[in-house]
Amino acid sequence: LLLTQPHSTSEFPGKTVTISCTRTSGSFASNSVQWYQKRPDTSFTTVIYDNSQRASGIPDRFTVSIDSSSKSATLIISGLQAEDEADYYCQSSDGHNVVFGGGTRLTVL
Amino acid sequence: QITLKESGPTLVKPTQTLTLTCALSGLSVNFRGVGVGWIRQPPGKSLEWLALIYWDNNKFYSPSLQSRVTVTKDPSKNRVVLTMTNVDLVDTGKYFCARTSSDDILTRGSFDSWGQGTLVTVSS
C-alpha cells in the first residue's frame, strides 16, 4: 500500500485549500484515513481520524471528502489562517501495515 | 494530560543494536485499550511505522522491519521499549512513540498523542 500526497500547496488567508491522499490498493471504506498536522517545534497533532471525525479541539474548518471509489481522500481547510501553515500527513492501513503519505507542506501566503 | 517522551542514544554504529524507550505519563501502558506505537522519520523523508504494542501485550510489526524490531513494555516503569538489531545508515532519523486508543490500528483509528521524538544517527 502506498499513499500519495502532493508535495506542497499554498493559498491566501481566508481562502480554501485542499490536500489529496490517494491509495494504491484497498479502500478507505475498509481501512480508514487519518490526517496529522505537524508545525515546526511542536508534536504531531491528529486533525481527522476514521475518515471524517475531527479530533478534539480541531475547528470545523477542517473537513474530509472521500471519492466514490474510496481510494482518494481530500483534506479541505476553509477560512485558511496563518496558524494552519504546517506539514500535513495522511495515514491509513491495509490490515498488515500502517502507512503514511509523503506529507504536504501547506504555506499560507 | 497524557505525555510520551522518547529517549535513547543519539549515535549508534552500524551493525549495533538500538534500544529506545518511551516513557508514558498520565496513562498506564496496561490500561485497557491502550496501544503504543513507534514511528520514525528519516531526514527529509516521510513517516514510517515500525511497531505497536497493546495493553494486553498483543504486538504488531511493520512487515519490512519485523525481522529486526522488537517491542516490549515495562509496566513497573510505565514505559515501552523498542529494540532494533543490526542497524544501518538508513536507520538514521527521528524516532517517535505515539499512543493509540484504536483497538485495531491496522484497520482504523489514529495515533492520538505523540512524543517530541528522539534523533538517532547511525554512523561509524
In chain B, residues with a C-beta closer than 8 Å to the C-beta of A44 are: 96, 98, 111, 114
- The reply to whether A25 touches chain B by the CB within 8 Å rule is no
A39 backbone φψ class: left, alpha, beta (φ>0; ψ -120 to 50): beta
| Residue B35, number of CB atoms within 10 A of its CB | 25
Q: How confident is the model at residue B20 (pLDDT cuts 50, 70, 90)?
A: very high
**A8 pLDDT higher than 90:** yes
Inter-chain residue contact B112 with A96, CB threshold 8 Å: no
Q: Select from B46, B105, B114 the Cβ nearest to the Cβ of A44.
A: B114
pLDDT at B103: 87
How buried is residue A73: exposed, middle or buried, by Cβ count under 10 Å (0-12/13-18/19+)? buried
pLDDT at B89: 97
Distance (Å, whole) CA B64 – CA A3? 16
**How many angstroms from the chain centroid is the CA of residue B38?**
2
How buried is residue A37: exposed, middle or buried, by Cβ count under 10 Å (0-12/13-18/19+)? buried
A9-21: average pLDDT: 98
Count H helices and E strands in chain B, helices first.
Answer: 0, 11
Q: Which stretches of chain A are DSSP H helices?
A: none
Query: What is the percent of chain A where pLDDT is above 70?
Result: 100
Query: How confident is the model over A54-102, as pLDDT tens digits?
Result: 999 999 999 999 999 999 999 999 999 999 999 999 999 999 999 999 9
How buried is residue A82: exposed, middle or buried, by Cβ count under 10 Å (0-12/13-18/19+)? exposed
Average pLDDT, chain B: 96
- The reply to whether A17 touches chain B by the CB within 8 Å rule is no
- The reply to whether B98 touches chain A by the CB within 8 Å rule is yes
Instruction: Indicate the SS3 state at residue B71.
Output: strand
Inter-chain residue contact B110 with A89, CB threshold 8 Å: no
Inter-chain residue contact B112 with A89, CB threshold 8 Å: no
- The reply to whether A50 touches chain B by the CB within 8 Å rule is yes
- The reply to whether B108 touches chain A by the CB within 8 Å rule is yes
| Residue A72, number of CB atoms within 10 A of its CB | 17
- The reply to whether B67 touches chain A by the CB within 8 Å rule is no
Distance (Å, whole) CA A64 – CA B96? 26
CA distance to partner chain B, nearest, from residue A57 (Å):
12
pLDDT at A89: 98
Q: How confident is the model at residue A19 (pLDDT cuts 50, 70, 90)?
A: very high
